[in-house]
Structure 1
Amino acid sequence: MAKTWGIGIVGCGTIADFHMKALSEIEQVRVAAVSSRSEEKARSVAEAQGCAWYTDYKALLHDPNVDIVSVTTSSGSHHRIGLDVLNAGKHLVVEKPAAMTSAQVAELIRTAEANGVTLSVISQRRFEAQHQAVRQVLDDGALGKLLLLEISLPFYRTQAYYDSADWRGTLVEDGGALMNQGIHSIDLLLWFGGPLASIYGKVATQTHRMEAEDIGLGILQFKNGAFGTVMASTSIQPGFQAALNIYGEKGTIKLEGTQIVHWTVPGVPEPDFGAPAVGGGGVSDPKAISYVNHKLQFIDVIESIETGRTPLVTGMDGLRAVQLVESIYASSESGKPVLLEG
């Protein structure tokens, strides 16, 4: 009989709702426990889920019915809570970004390895059909030599969004347009383009009262010789879909949101995925996303644990994404490019 995996969820905010909806559609899992600093919130969510609840997440980590812990708290707490999860011998699925610095993510990776447990960072956009199709094209070499990869995230967030919690828009707890909103596009850029050699960046806070940036730009060079550009903002009204363009010596793929808007790949017809996916992609409302791809990522994580293989999204993937953002910050401050080793 197949094992039923018990999931513990730390944090009962908006993102936790996406995780719980995703998990409700997977046969071999159940939400075993939830925790929130608010007793009222923890109790109400637990009653809806039919599970245990805690106001101290450390008590959840000692619940024998919990095998995998999903951390959906504010970004700045991911490192501290994640370390406790891994040291308790539980598998960890942590929302993006994995932590706020590359040193913190590296510590999570080391701790997972030391305890023999799986670490995966939520990067659900990898599981979207169009991105899977692009990855297959690149794996097959159908675009030839990569020339340029571009990501653009012209989002909009109101001042009220940043004022809604004292940690929002702070460098230590939340990050700005790059670390918070842009991290998914950055993950895709690195998944498609491979390791980086150098990064030149600029950041600014142009339209909001906040510590972190509301626009960030990067010019990249990949180790394979391709160039890359990054733009992420929360100041662009009314907000537009994230875009990703890939130019190779043999063809071009352009994506906007979940749609393929141009496909020139020799010998490979454009995929047809039917009707557009539901959800606004978080362009101007962070709640306007689909939970379907969270479901696919949870399935991948569970299969990786059961079979002993590496999950599609690893801690190292989370490290590279945070490292890119850190490098843009460092380059913006120094006015010089950051050269990456290894």
Structure 2
Amino acid sequence: MRDWGFGIIGCGSIAGFHRAAIHSLDNARLVGVASRSGARAKAFALESGHCECWSDYQQLLEHPGIDIVCVTTESGSHFQVGQQVLLAGKHAIIEKPLAMKAEEARRLTGLAADRGLSLSVVSQRRFEPQVAAVKRTVDAGKLGRLLYIEAGTPYYRTQQYYDQSEWRGTLDMDGGVLMNQGIHQIDLMLWMAGPVSSVYGQVATLSHRMEAEDTGTAIVRFVNGAIGTVMASTSMKPGFPPYLHLFGEKGSVKLRGSSIVQWSVEGEPSPSPVFEGSLETDGSSNPLDISPMHHKRQFEALLQALDQGNDPPVSGGEGALAVELIEAIYASYASGKEIALLSTSYTRGDTHAD
């Protein structure tokens, strides 16, 4: 097991979760950070201990001691920055979403594959113990063929949340609730049930002054024949835990936040609850009110995959699927029609674009 040097581009609030994950691993070290604001980069570096800092991220990419780069900039810059990371020969782990457009996500995936580099997107909810237990149950066929899936994100965000930065709530740099908050549950839905063949969606801006949507919903048809629904909102005051409901031929499971609230699986006892800290948090009303443990687990799994020469957890191909589905929801709303998805040939875990 080798030691891995990390760099972080973007020193906003989510970067702190990446730093905590890196510091928690014995075979990882934070070498340097970069931010457009030199003062912010310097302050973040001082808080991080012994690491370098730059106001130009190209200098970070030239550092020979950095093997993996975390991209924690605004969502709208993920493609541009991620592309530069891969062109510099570094492995990339990009905060969700992988990119703002499916075509950009596929280009990143293809570039990583061509250069033999690891590309992954942060989807830390996969690493919650209860979520992982449900995934194992689905993969083992204990629910039988999935028939119906519900994925929901009934969150609340104040107007102040969107007003704190000019890019928040914009279509190009932030996206709406589907791309920003709902993408976590969308990823879990795709992870459990596989790719979607078609979608019919509606979006609206109901309670905020912002360019993008604060509420979205969709009916999806999966390649395997199952039907599902997606809802996401930042208007559901005071904010409620996200949920994922899976109904199969042999049984059903309901996840609410990090907890299993319904377990109807014949012959299989419900997994024991796992409590990490004094309070399980879900980010339903505060985006920073989440456990740092799950970022740690994803980073740990990433390094293990790199050591073993395997594909990373939450690969670029999987990240592209989530972006493609959200893009199709927007296209359906704009056209008033059901939209067929293009990349149904992606497989879960695939790192290559079509």
Q: What is the TM-score with the length of structure 2 in the denominator?
A: 0.94
Secondary structure in structure 2 of the residue aligned to 1:81: helix
Deviation at 1:131, TM superposition (A): 1.2
CA contact (8 A) 1:156 1:237 kept: yes
Distance across 1 between alignment mates of 2:145 and 2:119: 32
Q: Whole-Å Cα distance in 2 between the matches of residues 22 and 117 of structure 1?
A: 21
Q: How does 1:102-113 map to 2 (within 5 A)?
A: 102-113=102-113
CA displacement 1:151-184 (0-9 Å, x = unmatched): 1111001111111111101111001110000011
- Structure 2 CA distance, aligned partners of 1:41 and 1:165? 15
Q: Which residue of 2 aligns with 1:209?
A: 209
Amino acid at match of 1:6: G
Matched with 1:327 is 328
1:304 Cα deviation from its structure 2 partner: 1.2
2:30 matched residue in structure 1: 31
- 1:10 touches 1:69 (CA, 8 Å); kept in 2? yes
Aligned length: 341
The answer on 1:303 being equivalent to 2:304 is yes
Could you say which residue in structure 2 is the equivalent of 1:190?
190
CA positional deviation for 1:48: 2.5
| 1:11 counterpart residue number | 10
CA contact (8 A) 1:263 1:270 kept: yes
Superimposed CA distance per residue, residues 177-197 of structure 1 (whole angstroms, 9 cap, x where no aligned partner): 100000110000000010111
Cα-to-partner distance string for 1:81-116 (whole Å, 9 max, x where unaligned): 000000000000000000100011011111111221
Gaps of 5+ in 1: none
Q: Which residue number corresponds to residue 252 of structure 2?
A: 252
The secondary structure found in structure 2 opposite 1:14 is: coil
Helix, strand or coil at the partner of 1:309 = coil
TM alignment of 1:22-171, pairs within 5 A: 22-49=21-48, 50-171=50-171
Contact 1:154/1:242 (8 A) holds in 2? yes
Residues 153 and 242 in structure 2, CA contact (< 8 A), matched pair in contact too: yes
**Equivalents in 1 of 2:138, 2:213: separation in Å?**
32
CA distance in 2, matches of 1:229, 1:265: 22
Kindly indicate whether the alpha-carbon contact (under 8 Å) linking 1:67 and 1:91 is maintained by their aligned counterparts in 2: yes
Answer yes or no: is the 8 Å Cα contact 1:46–1:52 preserved in 2. Answer: yes
Distance 1:329 1:130 in 2: 31
Matched residue, 1:265: 265
Query: Could you tell me how far 1:280 is from its partner in structure 2?
Result: 2.4
**Paired residues of 1:259 and 1:276 also in contact (CA < 8 A):** no
Contact 2:251 2:265 in 1 (8 A): yes
Equivalent-residue separation in structure 2 for 1:193 and 1:137 (angstroms): 12
Tell me whether 1:287 sits opposite 2:288 in the alignment: yes
1:307, 1:5 → 2: CA distance? 14
* Corresponding letter in the other structure for 1:295: K
- Give the CA deviation at 1:275: 2.9
Secondary structure of the structure 1 residue equivalent to 2:14: helix
Amino acid at match of 1:175: G
2 CA distance for matches of 1:177 and 1:45?
28
Q: Distance in 2 between matches of 1:138 and 1:85?
A: 35
2: distance between equivalents of 1:254 and 1:13?
33
Shift in CA distance, 274/301, structure 1 to aligned 2, threshold 3 Å: closer
The answer to whether the 8 Å contact 2:254/2:261 transfers is yes
Task: Please say if residues 101 and 323 of structure 1, whose CA atoms lie closer than 8 Å, have aligned partners that are also in contact.
Answer: yes
Report the identity percentage.
Answer: 50
Aligned-partner residue type, residue 29 of structure 2: R
**3-state secondary structure, aligned to 1:182:** helix
Could you tell me how far apart the structure 2 residues matched to 1:147 and 1:308 are? 36
Displacement after TM superposition at 1:279 (Å): 4.5
Separation (CA, whole Å) in 2 of partners of 1:275 and 1:312? 23
Distance 1:179 1:127 in 2: 20
Distance 1:274 1:122 in 2: 22
Structure 1 counterpart of 2:333, one-letter code = S
Q: Distance in 1 between matches of 2:16 and 2:274?
A: 27
The answer as to whether partners of 2:258 and 2:280 remain within 8 angstroms in 1 is no
Query: Which amino acid in structure 2 is aligned with residue 289 of structure 1?
Result: I
State the SS of the aligned residue for 1:183: helix
Question: TM-score normalised to the size of structure 1?
Answer: 0.98
Aligned-residue offset at 1:10: 0.4
Please state how far the C-alpha of 1:276 moved relative to its aligned partner: 5.9
1:337 aligns with 2:338: yes
SS of equivalent to 2:175: coil
Q: CA RMSD in A?
A: 1.0
The code of the aligned residue for 2:16 comes to D
